[in-house]
Amino acid sequence: MHVPDGFIDAPTSAVTGVLAAGAIAVSLRGARRELDERTAPLAGLVAAFIFAVQMLNFPVAAGTSGHLLGGALAAILVGPYTGVLCVSVVLLMQGVLFADGGLTALGVNVTDMAVVTSVVAYAVFRGLLAVLPRGRGSVTAAAFVAALLSVPAAAVAFTLIYAVGGTTDVALGKVATAMIGVHVLIGIGEAVITALTVSAVIAVRPDLVHGARGLQQRLKLRVNGELVDAPAPRTPAPEADPAPARAGDAPVAARTSRRTLWLTGLAASLVLAGVVSFYASANPDGLEKVAHDQGIDAKAREHTSAGSPLADYGVRDVEDARLSGGLAGVIGVGVTVVAGSAVFWAVRRRRESEVCAPDTVL
């Protein structure tokens, strides 16, 4: 759903740019409360994983494809504020390096794909958890529904933005019907990817999933016929694998070290972007299809970064299509994980400096 240059007029693009900047500023402050020494590295990985999976367009219907938006996944894994930042980093990398999503439309894309999806998904997610039974299954189910609803919500947001500043004269009803209809279908794919990923992380490190915090119940042991609270699980060293359990110890919740999880996630992202992406659907995504069918793209302009060596997710002068796309994907994952990690490291350092700063005496 990357909006290119020319779909939305300059005044509306400027307003959404201000809104996006404000949302990012708020998210930077909010992320200080969400990130710590354990979760900050995961946030950079989440951004890289979203970049990789967005390269995997899946077929939907009638010559249309869809791809992950990622707001729901990021919000549930690392928190809504950090989630907005994750998707924003991805959109910036895509726009500047890969000519995907217009630079003048960056505010539109951040507002639509980062802010709306993260906020809607997390609100739905928390609402469902309030009424569902406590447990990992409930987290996965809530993640599925939240992701499913976040995609048509983004389609509605685009329709509203188009209603205010669209550059072509197309009936709003037609745009809304087409956008929401196809993105409901795309939302199913988003929901499956989000639920599977959240479930996989919960299975190995539930303590690192922001949306699962506070859901773990204390282990009970039966002693002399009565149920009593078990001793608190031992916490593994920050960068070491959990120590093997000994007789009489309570179970260790974290069965995979953060380093192992991070390396596994990075390897998966590289494989998805560097290898699996070659087999992605070549059909236009939901917005491209609607724009072409309804005439929204009549005034679309060439991307400012069209001359980038990585434009259109290929490496210039590499003739082999498989190798060109694979290299571009690997470069994109690398750049995104570095950029994202740098942002979240800075946010975490700012939090630490605020916590450690001595009180000011007036």
Is the predicted pLDDT of residue 268 greater than 60, yes or no? Answer: yes
Quick one: tokens of 287? Answer: 């917005």
φ/ψ of residue 285, rounded to 5: -75, 180
Is the predicted pLDDT of residue 17 greater than 50, yes or no? Answer: yes
Q: Are strands 226-229 and 58-59 parallel, antiparallel or unpaired?
A: unpaired
- Tell me which of 41-45, 203-207, 222-226, 253-257 is least confident: 222-226
pLDDT value of residue 94 = 97
Find the mean pLDDT for residues 74-81. Answer: 97
> pLDDT-based confidence at 243, cuts 50/70/90?
very low
Distance CA 75, CA 119 (A): 8
What is the third-level CATH fold of 10-216+258-356? Arp2/3 complex 21 kDa subunit ARPC3 (1.10.1760)
Is the predicted pLDDT of residue 3 greater than 80, yes or no? Answer: yes
Token pair 């910036």 is at which residue? Answer: 92
First to last CA, the chain: 52
Quick one: tokens of 80? Answer: 């809504």
> pLDDT-based confidence at 126, cuts 50/70/90?
very high
Cut 0.75: pTM above it: yes
Quick one: tokens of 260? Answer: 């192992």
3-state helix, strand, coil in the chain (%, to 5): 65, 5, 30
SS3 state of residue 351: helix
Is the predicted pLDDT of residue 362 greater than 50, yes or no? Answer: no
For the segment 183-232, what is each residue's pLDDT rounded down to a tens digit?
A: 999 999 999 999 999 999 999 999 899 999 876 554 455 566 555 555 54
Is the predicted pLDDT of residue 251 greater than 60, yes or no? Answer: no
Number of H helices, E strands in the chain: 11, 4
For the segment 143-170, what is each residue's pLDDT rounded down to a tens digit?
A: 999 999 999 999 999 999 999 999 999 9
Distance CA 308, CA 103 (A): 13
How many other β-carbons are positioned within 10 Å of the β-carbon of residue 135? 13
